[in-house]
Amino acid sequence: MFAAFHIPDLPMAAAMLRDPELAKVPGAILKETPEKEDVKIPLMSLNDAAWHTGIAPGWPLNRALVRCPDLAVIPRDLEMEKMLHEELVRFADRFSADIEITSPDTVLLDLAGTSRKHFNGLEMLPESEVELCHALAETPDLAHFAVLEPRTRGRFVSTGEIGVLSISLLGKLEGDASFLPLLELLGLRTLEDYRSLRRQDLTERFGPIAGKWHDLISAKTCRLLKLHRPPESFLQSMDFDDPLHSTESLVFVFKRLLHLMAARLAARHLAASLLVIRFTLEEGSLLREIHLPEPLSDPLALLKPIETMVDSLRLQSPVVRVELDATPADPLSRQRDWARRHLANPERWADTLARLEALVGNGNVGIPECLDTHAPDSFRMNDATRATEPVSWIGSDPEFSVPLRRFRPNVKIAVAFDPGIKFCPPPLALLSGPFTGQVLDYRGPFLSSGESPNPTNNWIQAVWKVQMEQAVILKVVYKAGIRWEIEGVYC
């Protein structure tokens, strides 16, 4: 069984959605203005007031003005038309993942396994509240014909009932319809008249396309839909009338959202490789990302790392809205390579990573990789769930035989030095910090710099190794801007 959704007079509905006052006077939207001035401009869409005057789409503008002198020409609102079209596609996606966009105002659906009761009371789009018509039939083209005729809308239409429709609907099908005016000259007015002719005679007279249309009207063939695959967006959200305070309520909400998301992923034969969660609080918002070791589509397996993350949250205010989105990926349905090591249980690894991020902070779990630079502490964190090449060490051998116990972050100190030395003055005494006192001996300065062409990232520093009265050796760093820091202590 197939269904068709149709928005009557979509250009006019879009214009009146922007300005409801347009419904009070007869109005019409014209087709694209032709380049030739002597060609008459036909009407494309009308409002209810214009329909009641007896004019119809396709009439030339001069003829319509004779019938209705008060007819107003309304400009098209392409932005609002696009919004209505997108809403129509989203609404159809609720009933079936197999959708064909036949025209900007009509979509066809494959309803295999769907009950007709789901369409009872379907009269308008839920968001914009624009009129929406539907029809059911055995084939997609018959459903398309039925939804365009007011007499056959809102119900299941059999093959016999389709025969009462106008033969001009054949122009909605694919193929050369140049012979349709000739059929009307021969006295054919309805689809039943066309169907009563012999298929062989139609094919010999008008070509193979006429025989193909004869099979479609007789429901002898059922073509496949030209499926529309929208951009992969699996965003699920939920607003709360009463803000949530407990983690149990949040886990229950995420369980419900995951089932909806998993169903959409399964319909497209995909899995989730990354979960993006946004909490909207009464004061501010919070964003969390969960990297999965392998693409997953099972809602129970996806719920475990989310539950671990929610248990670790310390929110400052109640939650008023949650959003859950996923980055899709192809599921891993392949035989494992015995020559390589694999995760025995990727779900447990995802749960472990979620627990580590809850302990050390979001974005602080991964595989560190040193950058190709001499700047100190220059590295990046690679994703721990992605296979990477062995990380090679980029750097020099230890410059000192005694191990250095580094401070993270560096300890800022005040230093006494000789102001007469303009460039890299040696430290004479440490005035603050964990090690204060006079400097007995020092080595340095050891200069380093980098990123000189880039004025925003360039850096320069001088390193001193100083011996204090407490018989300790410190690594002191002097950075541009009269700033001194203790980087570590040799022990």
Average pLDDT over residues 220-231: 79
β-strand pairing of 437-450 with 427-430: antiparallel
**Which long-range CB contacts under 8 A does 408-417 form with residues at least 24 apart?**
410/477, 410/485, 410/486, 410/487, 411/485, 411/486, 412/483, 412/484, 412/485, 413/476, 413/484, 413/485, 413/486, 414/484, 415/476, 415/478, 415/484
Residues 94 and 189 in one domain: yes
**Alpha carbon distance 385, 401 (integer Å):** 37
Rounded CA separation 205/198 (Å): 11
The pLDDT, as a whole number, for residue 277 is: 92
Q: What is the pLDDT of residue 394?
A: 47
CA angle 488, 453, 449 (to 5 degrees): 20
348 against 59, higher pLDDT: 59
- Residue in this structure with the two tokens 């539950």, named with its chain if needed: 307
| pLDDT value at residue 278 | 92
pLDDT: which is higher, 395 or 261: 261
**pTM metric for this prediction:** 0.50
CATH number at residue 41: 3.40.1170.60
The total number of structural domains in the chain stands at: 5
User: Given 47, 76, 105, which residue is the final one in a domain?
Assistant: 76
The strand pair at 72-73 and 27-30 is best described as parallel
- Summarised one tens digit per residue, pLDDT across range 143-159 is 888 888 888 888 888 88
Sheet holding 2-6, edge to edge: 99-103, 106-110, 2-6, 133-137
Alpha-carbon distance of 187 to 483, in angstroms, equals 97
Of 44, 60, 76, the domain-final residue:
76
* Confidence category of residue 395, pLDDT binned at 50, 70, 90: very low
* Lowest-confidence segment of 28-42, 387-401, 423-437 by average pLDDT: 387-401
pLDDT digits (tens, 9 = 90+) for 259-315: 888 888 887 788 888 899 999 998 888 898 888 877 888 888 888 888 888 888 888
- Residue 296 domain-assigned (yes or no): yes
The reply to whether 203 falls in a domain is yes
- Provide the pLDDT for residue 447: 81
- Please indicate, yes or no, whether residues 268 and 386 belong to a single structural domain of this protein: no
Q: Is the pLDDT of residue 389 over 70?
A: no
C-alpha count within 13 angstroms, C-beta hemisphere, residue 88: 32
pLDDT category at 469 given cuts 50, 70, 90 is: confident
Domain identity same for 86 and 213: yes
Give residue for tokens 């689809």.
191
What is the mean pLDDT of the segment spanning 129-133? 88
Please report whether residue 177 resides in a domain: yes
Are residue 383 and residue 410 in the same domain, yes or no? no
pLDDT of residue 324: 92
Indicate whether 390 and 443 sit together in one domain.
no
Q: Residue 44: pLDDT above 60? A: yes
User: Do both 70 and 136 map to the same domain?
Assistant: no
Secondary structure (H, E, C), the chain: CEEEEECCCHHHHHHHHHCHHHHHCCEEEECCCCCCCCCCCEEEEECHHHHCCCCCCCCEHHHHHHHCCCCEECCCCHHHHHHHHHHHHHHHHCCCCCEEEEECCEEEEECCCCCHHHHCCCCECCCCCCECEEEEECCHHHHHHHHHCHHHCCCECCHHHHCCCEHHHHHHCCCCCCCHHHHHHCCCCEHHHHHCCCHHHHHHHHCHHHHHHHHHHCCCCCCCCCCCCCCCCCCEEEEEEEEECCHHHHHHHHHHHHHHHHHHHHHCCCEEEEEEEEEEECCCEEEEEEEEEEEECCHHHHHHHHHHHHHCCCCCCCEEEEEEEEEEECCCCCCCCCCCCCCCCHHHHHHHHHHHHHHHCCCCCCEEEECCCCCCCCEEEECCCCCCCCCCCCCCCCCCCCCEEEEEEEEEECEEECCCCCCCCCEEEECCCCCCEEEEEEEEEEEEEECCCCCCCCEEEEEEEEEECCCCEEEEEEECCCEEEEEEEEC
Q: Do 329 and 454 share a domain, yes or no?
A: no
Residue 329 sits in the same domain as residue 265: yes
1 belongs to a structural domain: no
Rounded distance, CA 130 to CA 422, Å? Answer: 76
Last residue of a domain, one of 153, 188, 217: 217
- Token pair of 450, please? 């980098």
Interval 433-454 mean pLDDT: 80
CATH assignment of the domain containing 271: 3.30.1490.100
Mean pLDDT of 176-200: 83
Counting residues of the chain whose pLDDT is more than 90, the rounded percentage is 5
Range of the domain at 206: 80-217
Both 141 and 191 in one domain: the answer is yes
> pLDDT digits over 230-255, tens only?
666 788 888 888 888 888 889 999 99
Contact 474, 466 (CB under 8 A): yes
Lowest mean pLDDT among 2-16, 205-219, 326-340, 358-372: 326-340
Query: To 5 degrees, how large is the angle CA 115–CA 119–CA 125?
Result: 145
Q: Is 52 part of any domain?
A: yes
Using the predicted structure, report yes or no on whether residue 455 has a pLDDT greater than 80: no
- Structure tokens belonging to residue 194: 């066309």
Residue 397 pLDDT level (bands cut at 50, 70, 90): very low
**Residues 164 and 286 both lie in one domain:** no
- Do 89 and 207 belong to one domain? yes
Q: How much is the average pLDDT of 479-490?
A: 80
Listed ranges 16-20, 122-126, 331-335, 447-451; the one with the highest mean pLDDT: 16-20
The contacts of residue 413 (CB under 8 Å, 6+ apart) are: 430, 431, 432, 433, 476, 484, 485, 486
Q: Is the pLDDT of residue 338 over 70?
A: no
pLDDT over 50 (residue 125) = yes
Q: Give, in degrees to the nearest 5, the angle at Cα 379 between 373 and 384.
A: 145
Longest dimension (CA), the chain: 115
Q: Look over the chain and give the mean of its residue pLDDT values, rounded to a whole number.
A: 81
Q: What number is the average pLDDT over the span 417-434?
A: 82
Instruction: Report the residue count for the chain.
Output: 491
User: Is 181 inside any structural domain?
Assistant: yes
Is residue 271 located within the same domain as residue 348? yes
CA distance 120 to 421: 89
Would 43 be classed as within a structural domain? yes
Is 223 contained in some domain? no
